[in-house]
Amino acid sequence: KELGVGSSSRIFDNTTSGRKNMWLKVINSYENIPLLGYGVLGDRFAYSFSVSNVFLYFLISGGLAGFLIIIFFNIHLSKNILNSLSYKRLFNNREPFFYISFIFIIFFLFRSLVENSYGQFSIDLMLLVPSCLIFEKYLRKHKVLT
């Protein structure tokens, strides 16, 4: 069969384990979400399923306020990562905590797109927070951040 628009959509549906439909259901009903959200595990309360995306999870659980906080947090992390990549001296130091923190942060940022990941009280959160603190400590030490 030739790959057309319909078949590529089916490929996407199969590779996301039904997440696409869940995400669309939440996005299409965003106006029904209260300003401060439904609280912890709000996705399961409001929709009876895990939304499997940290941004949508924060929108449902924390409302617009939670959504804006997670957006700001991710922009802050992404900005720090991009800043760190422009300083070669950071990666020449051979400091294992810096590298481990960097890898954890990158992993959890990407994982949060298809899982609630660090959005819930989980191992992900317990690994991400110290990684962010260690990473920013090294950025300040090497004067990447002021």
- State the pLDDT confidence band at 50, using cuts at 50, 70 and 90: confident
pTM summary value: 0.77
pLDDT value, residue 133: 95
Within a 10 A sphere around the Cβ of 107, how many other Cβ atoms?
15
For residue 4, pLDDT over 80 is answered with no
pLDDT value, residue 128: 94
pLDDT value, residue 32: 82
For residue 44, pLDDT over 70 is answered with yes
Distance between CA atoms of 104 and 123, rounded to whole angstroms?
12
Most confident option among 11-15, 33-37, 72-76:
72-76
For residue 7, pLDDT over 50 is answered with no
User: Is pLDDT larger for residue 119 or for residue 75?
Assistant: 75
Helix (H, G, I), strand (E, B) or coil at 102: helix
pLDDT value, residue 14: 57
For 57-98, how does the pLDDT look when each residue is reduced to its tens digit (9 = 90+)?
Answer: 999 998 999 999 999 999 999 999 988 887 776 677 778 898
Please, are residues 105 and 135 in contact by the beta-carbon 8 Å criterion? Answer: yes
Distance between CA atoms of 115 and 144, rounded to whole angstroms?
31
Distance between CA atoms of 94 and 115, rounded to whole angstroms?
31
